[in-house]
Structure 1
Amino acid sequence: MIIQTNEIVDLKTPTGLMRCHIFRPVADGQYSSVIFYSEIYQVTQPIRRLAEYIAGQGYIVIVPEVYHEYEPLGTVLEYDKEGTDRGNCLKFEKPISAYDSDADTVIEWAKHYEHGNGKVGTMGVCLGGHLALRAALNSNVLAAACFYPTNVHDSTLGQGQNDDTIHRLAELKGETMFVFGRQDPHVPFEGRLQIQQALQKAGAVYEWHEFNAQHAFLRDEGPRYDAELFQLCMGLVIRLFARNL
């Protein structure tokens, strides 16, 4: 499927303009939307390539810049110590209320986008995995694919490092999918167990996968990339969205 990759929309949120990058099929028609949350570096080339892959399966993919309050629109942090330190700093600087208002804004926009059919799902990696899950607390989200979501088990996302995501899983209305690498130091075994037990207690409809892989194994740059596992996981994602979107 031929896709368009250069569309940008700047949405007004309670905390300022948020730039969103749109990837979508060029063929006429209306498609389901997937809000794709990036890791702490914002819209890097690996994130763009992954968004293009999902769009090529017949979805509108919307990638918000999660740190729009703190960095000029269009900012991409580098995969180096400086970029990592900055991304990790902002992850805890931004209030949870701002993450939530961003999600509500982009979900509402996606529901009425002229090329969309009103159906909305979420997906995310690392920080974005947590944001995809948290956005799915909005009842309009029909499915969420959460890859190695950080700071869910210890409730430390956002300003004050005291988020309530894991305590609100009963609010999930759509199907969620969780994918982890067992060698991921950011979400250890005990943390994964906490998340799964919370999902069970909440009665959530969810799918759970663990693989022998490192953190960020989907990122097609760097030594942790697992190409075979990437292919397997993309199949899981497409099946999840096909069932629900």
Structure 2
Amino acid sequence: MTKQDLQIKTRDGVARAGLFRAANASPARAGVILYMDAFGPRAALDGMAERLAGEGYAVLVPDLFYRNAPYGPFDAKTAFTEEKTKTALMALVTGTTQEMTISDSGAFLDALAPQGVTGPIGTVGYCMGGARALNAAATYPEHIKAAASFHGGNLASDAADSPHRKAASIKARVYVGTSGVDRSFPPEQSARLAEALRVAEVDHVIENYVGMAHGWCVPDHSVFDAAGAQRHWKRLTTLFAETLI
């Protein structure tokens, strides 16, 4: 597996990103943008990107918090239980708006083409990245053919930038994996998202992972669940195999 460090020029500065590919393989035309969770780029996300790259994709993991770099690092197991790091994290999350990431995503897509990634693109996001993966699909439908969210929060909230409001612009196939109980994506939001996607005639699945807690997919989370994570990998790789062709 190879990792290439990129510096991507955006409207607001320069975002660092890792581009992962399988070694000794044909150059990947199809790409995946992995939108990070609240704890930022780190070894756990690198490992997840490597796993996706092993499926034959070029996988980009950008730093969405680059406007506030340097920051962290954060320990995903304890960062929200310690007041100092919780305050710092929440400032990063709330200070990095959906509109910022939507704009950045155009630069991320532009950065992939010179790397030979000229085919279809998939997006996947975890936690705060889930809504960003869906909003990217709505904003760049000519490029993004599949979009997945796992334990994503506020996918159908009252906010103006909530992804469900842009359902009519999505041309990608959508998969949403939800925690069994998740205050950031309660049942009423799930129902609202399902209705918006159905009315917009978006090919989609919303699946409830009963018994899983928010963060179950990511290996350095305190609530990581190996069986639930494996189920998520099956769903994600199937989604991309069927769409990024």
For 1:62, what is the secondary structure of its paired residue?
Answer: strand
* 2:167–2:200 CA contact under 8 A, matched in 1: yes
Q: What residue identity is the alignment partner of 2:154?
A: N
Cα separation, 2, equivalents of 1:65 and 1:155: 27
1:106 paired to 2:108: yes
Residue 55 of structure 1 and its aligned partner are, at CA, apart by 1.2
Deviation at 1:75, TM superposition (A): 5.3
1:78 aligns with 2:46: no
Distance 2:111 2:12 in 1: 16
Write the distance in 2 (CA, Å) between the matches of 1:216 and 1:205. Answer: 25
Shift of 1:155: 4.3
- The yes-or-no answer on 1:96 pairing with 2:98 is yes
The match for 2:137 is 136
Asked if the contact 1:155/1:166 (under 8 Å) is kept, the reply is no
Q: 1:68 to 1:222 in 2, by over 3 A?
A: closer
Q: Deviations over 1:34-93 (max 9, x none)?
A: 000010111122212211111122111100100111123x85433313334323222222
Task: State whether residues 136 and 172 of structure 1, in contact with CA within 8 Å, keep that contact through their aligned partners in structure 2.
Answer: yes
Determine the C-alpha separation between the residues in 2 that align with 1:110 and 1:33: 8
After TM superposition, the structure 1 = structure 2 runs for residues 17-56 of structure 1, keeping only pairs within 5 Å, are 17-31=14-28, 32-56=30-54
Return closer, same or farther for 1:108/1:16 CA change in 2, 3 Å cut-off.
same
Once the two structures are overlaid, the 10-residue window that deviates more, 164-173 or 31-40, is 164-173
Residues 1:11 and 2:8 are matched in the alignment? yes
Unaligned stretches of 5+ in structure 2? none
Q: Which residue among 57, 62, 65 is the counterpart of 1:59?
A: 57
State the Cα distance separating 1:28 from its structure 2 match: 3.9
132 and 84 in structure 1: CA distance in 2 versus 1, 3 angstrom threshold: farther
Q: Does 1:148 align with 2:151?
A: yes
Between the aligned residues of both structures, percent identity stands at: 23
1-side partners of 2:95 and 2:105: how far apart? 17
CA separation of 1:95 and 1:219: change in aligned 2, threshold 3 A: closer
Whether contact under 8 Å (1:110, 1:118) holds in the other structure is no
1:175–1:206 contact (8 Å) kept in structure 2: yes
Within the candidate set 175, 181, 184, 1:183 is matched to: 181
Matched position secondary structure for 1:200: helix
Counterparts of 1:117 and 1:49 in 2: how far apart (Å)? 24
Runs of 4+ in 1 over 4 A off after TM superposition: none
TM-score by length of 1: 0.89
1:132-182 deviations in Å (ceiling 9; x for gaps) = 1111111110111111211222144xxxxx414221111001111100012
Contact 1:10–1:18 (CA under 8 A) maintained in structure 2: yes
Could you tell which deviates more after superposition, 230-239 or 183-192?
Answer: 183-192
Q: Tell me the C-alpha RMSD between the 2 structures.
A: 1.7
Question: 5+ residue gaps in structure 1?
Answer: 157-161
Q: TM-score, normalised by structure 2?
A: 0.89
